[in-house]
Chain A
Amino acid sequence: MFFIFRKGETPMNDFKLKVLELLQEDARRGADIIATLLGASEEEVLLAIQEMEQDNVIVKYAPVINWSKVHDDKVTGIIEVQITPERGRGFDTIAERIYRYPEVKTVYLMSGAYDLQIEIEGKTLKEVAFFVSNKLSTIESVLSTKTHFILKKYKQDGIILEDHEDDHRMLISP
C-alpha cells in the first residue's frame, strides 16, 4: 500500500513526518501500532492522521499494484509536452485540461527541454496514439508532443516490483 501526499499549507512537524514514513511503508498499519513504534499515544497518532487527511497531505490510501501480473495488455506512454503558457494563469489551466482525462495517470510540470510530462495508460498502442493525436495535440497551447512507451516497470514509488532481496540470514546467530 502507499499513499500520495502533497506538501500542505501547515508545516510538517517531526512527529507527523514519522507517522507519514510509517504509513508509507505500510498504509494498513493501525494507529495503535504506529503509536507504539513512535512511543506516542494512539490519540496523538489518530489526531495527526486526521489533520493530515483534512489538509490533503494524505490524499488517498491505495495499494501499489504490479499490473503486469494482472494483465499484459496494458500500454503506458510517457509524453513530453511543450506548451505556451497562458497569460496570467501560467501552466495550471492547461495542466488541468489534461489531468482531467481519466486515462492520464500523472502530470508533472518540468524544468528543461519540455514543460509537462504526462503518463497515460491505454489498452493498446493505438489507443494511446489516438489520445495524443486527437486530444492532446489539438489543445491550442500545445506546441509539440513526444511519446515514449514503457516496456517494463522495475521500480515504482520507491518499491522494487520484480525481485525481492530475500532474507539470507541464518536463523540463529550469536
Chain B
Amino acid sequence: MLKTKKSMTEYISPLVKDIPPSGIRKFFDLVSGRKDIISLGVGEPDFVTPWHVREACVYSLEKGKTTYTQNAGLPELREVIAEYLYNQFALKYEPANELLITVGGSEAIDLALRALIQPGDEILIPEPCYVSYSPIASIVGGKAVGIETFAKDDFKLTAESLEAQITPQSKVLILNYPSNPTGGIMTYEDWLPIVSLVEQNDLIVISDEIYAELTYEQRHISFASMPGMKDRTIIVSGFSKAFAMTGWRLGYACGHQDLIAAMLKIHQYTIMCAPVMAQQAGIEALTNGLEEKDRMVESYNQRRRLVVKGFREMGLDCHEPKGAFYAFPSIQTTGLTSEQFAEKLLEESKVAAVPGNVFGLGGEGFIRCSYATSVSDLNEALERIGNFVEKYQ
C-alpha cells in the first residue's frame, strides 16, 4: 500500500514521463538471456581493450592513484588528447580550457545540450540516428526536430533537407558522422553547403564524432575543421569505439572556451570528474595504442566488405557504409516492417539485428547489422539471413 497521496508516476516530471519507451529496449528484452543466437545487434567493438591499456590501469591502481582529479580531467590526458586531435584530424584545442574529460561521450552530449538549450529551442537532428539525442533534447526542455536522410544519398545530410527544417527557434544542430546506425560519412565537399547554412542561421553544432577513427578508404573530416566552424562546434568524442574501451566510460568534449566552461560548470556539480582509473588508461591508449587502433580499423574494414557483399548477393539493397561498424541494408523487398523482419529473423533464424525504425525518421525498412563480430559468425549469420530473405522475397 503506497503511503503517498498520488501514484508514484504522478510525481515524475512530465519531461521524463513523456519520453516514449525506447524501441531498442524492447528488442533488448526479446534477446536477453538467449544463448542460441548470433547477434549483429551489438553497438560496441568485439575487441577487448588492448592489454597494455588494461595493464596501465592496474598499475595506476597499484600505485594508489585512486583520488578525484581536476574537474576537467587529468591535465596529462587533456594534453595527449589535444595532440592526438591535432595529428589525426588537424584540430587545435587548448588543453587547459577548450577540452573537458567526461564520463563517456554520452555525458558530453548531455552537458552540451543542458548548457545551450532553453525551453522552446529547437534541436535539429539528422535521422536515422543514435537513440539518445532526441530523449536528451526533450529532458532539457528543447524540441527535437528530425531531419530525414536517405539511402539514395548514402544517408548524408543534404542542405535542402536541413534548410527545410530550420525555423527561427532552431538553435543547435547535432551531427553524428560517421553515423550510427547507417555508417554514412560526410566529406569536405558534403560539408560545404551545411557550413553555409549553419553560418547563415547562426546555429551551434554538437558534432558527435565518436566513430571518427573508423572511416574506410578515406579520412574523417571533422565538422570543426571546416572553415569558420571551430568556434560554433562542440566536438564530442571518446575512447569507446576506436580503442575498444566502451565499459571504461571515457569521453571528452572540445570547443570554444566559454562553451566548455559552461559545460564544466554542470559537470563539476553533477559528476565531479571522470573515474581516475579510466583517465589513466586513456593516457596509455593515446600514448602507445595507435598501432593497435589501426589494426582494429583494418579488421573492421575487412569485415565491412564481407557483410556488404553478403547483403548485396542475397538481393538486399545495401548502401556502402564508409564509417563506424554498421551496415544498414534495406529489407523493403521482403514486404515486412523493420520490426517484423527483426523479430521473425530472431525467431526463425536465430540472428539478432536492430530494426531500423528505432533510429527515427528514415529508419523504417532497414535493419542495423553490426559487423564487429568474428568472421565465422558473420558468415554464418549472412547465410541464415540469406535463407530467411529467400523465404519472404
| Cβ contacts under 8 Å, A158 to chain B | none
Q: Are B375 and A37 in contact (CB under 8 A)?
A: yes
Q: Are B44 and A172 in contact (CB under 8 A)?
A: no
Q: Are A173 and B41 in contact (CB under 8 A)?
A: yes
| Cβ contacts under 8 Å, A29 to chain B | 375
Q: Using A36-B306, A37-B303 as known contacts, say yes or no to A171 and B375 having CB atoms under 8 A apart.
A: no
Interface residue ranges of B27-56 to A (CB < 8 Å): 27-28, 31-32, 34, 37, 39, 41-44, 46, 48
Interface residue ranges of A117-174 to B (CB < 8 Å): 165, 167, 169-174
Interface residue ranges of A9-65 to B (CB < 8 Å): 22, 26, 29, 33, 36-39
| Cβ contacts under 8 Å, B42 to chain A | 169-173
Number of interface residues of A (CB under 8 A): 16
CB distance from B12 to the nearest CB of A (A): 23
Question: B88: CB under 8 A from chain A?
Answer: no
- CB nearest to B308 among chain A residues: A36
Q: Apart from A170-B42, A172-B31, what 7 extra A-B contacts exist at CB < 8 Å?
A: A29-B375, A37-B302, A37-B306, A171-B37, A171-B41, A172-B42, A172-B354
| Cβ contacts under 8 Å, A37 to chain B | 302-303, 305-306, 375
CB distance from B367 to the nearest CB of A (A): 12
Q: Using A36-B306, A36-B309, A37-B303 as known contacts, say yes or no to A171 and B132 having CB atoms under 8 A apart.
A: no
Q: Are A172 and B375 in contact (CB under 8 A)?
A: no
Q: Give 7 A-B contacts (CB < 8 Å), ordered by A residue.
A: A38-B302, A172-B28, A172-B31, A172-B42, A173-B41, A174-B43, A174-B131
Interface residue ranges of B297-355 to A (CB < 8 Å): 302-303, 305-306, 309, 352, 354
Which label, helix, strand, loop or mixed, suits the secondary structure of the B interface? mixed
| Cβ contacts under 8 Å, A173 to chain B | 28, 41-44
Q: Are B37 and A169 in contact (CB under 8 A)?
A: no
Question: B130: CB under 8 A from chain A?
Answer: yes
CB distance from A80 to the nearest CB of B (A): 29
- Tell me the bound Cα distance from A36 to B131 in angstroms: 32
Q: A: which residues have CB within 8 A of B?
A: 22, 26, 29, 33, 36-39, 165, 167, 169-174
| Cβ contacts under 8 Å, B31 to chain A | 171-172
| Cβ contacts under 8 Å, A167 to chain B | 46
CB distance from A71 to the nearest CB of B (A): 29
Q: Which of A22, A36, A171 has the most CB of B within 10 A?
A: A171
| Cβ contacts under 8 Å, A26 to chain B | 375-376
| Cβ contacts under 8 Å, B354 to chain A | 172
CB distance from A106 to the nearest CB of B (A): 25
Q: Are B46 and A171 in contact (CB under 8 A)?
A: no
CB distance from B19 to the nearest CB of A (A): 14
Q: Which of B43, B180, B305, B352 contacts A39 (CB 8 A)?
A: B305
Q: Are A165 and B41 in contact (CB under 8 A)?
A: no
Q: Are B352 and A171 in contact (CB under 8 A)?
A: yes
Q: Are B352 and A169 in contact (CB under 8 A)?
A: no
- Tell me the bound Cα distance from A22 to B42 in angstroms: 24
Q: Are A169 and B131 in contact (CB under 8 A)?
A: no
| Cβ contacts under 8 Å, A169 to chain B | 42, 44, 46
Q: Are A174 and B24 in contact (CB under 8 A)?
A: yes
Question: B97: CB under 8 A from chain A?
Answer: no
- CB nearest to A29 among chain B residues: B375
Question: B379: CB under 8 A from chain A?
Answer: yes
Q: Which of A22, A33, A38, A169 has the most CB of B within 10 A?
A: A169
| Cβ contacts under 8 Å, B131 to chain A | 174
- CB nearest to A165 among chain B residues: B48
| Cβ contacts under 8 Å, A170 to chain B | 28, 42
CB distance from A118 to the nearest CB of B (A): 30
Q: Using A33-B375, A33-B379, A37-B375 as known contacts, say yes or no to A172 and B27 having CB atoms under 8 A apart.
A: yes
| Cβ contacts under 8 Å, B180 to chain A | 174
Q: Using A33-B379, A37-B375, A167-B46 as known contacts, say yes or no to A172 and B41 having CB atoms under 8 A apart.
A: yes
- CB nearest to B42 among chain A residues: A169
Q: Are A174 and B132 in contact (CB under 8 A)?
A: yes
- Tell me the bound Cα distance from A167 to B373 in angstroms: 10
| Cβ contacts under 8 Å, B43 to chain A | 173-174
- Tell me the bound Cα distance from A38 to B132 in angstroms: 34
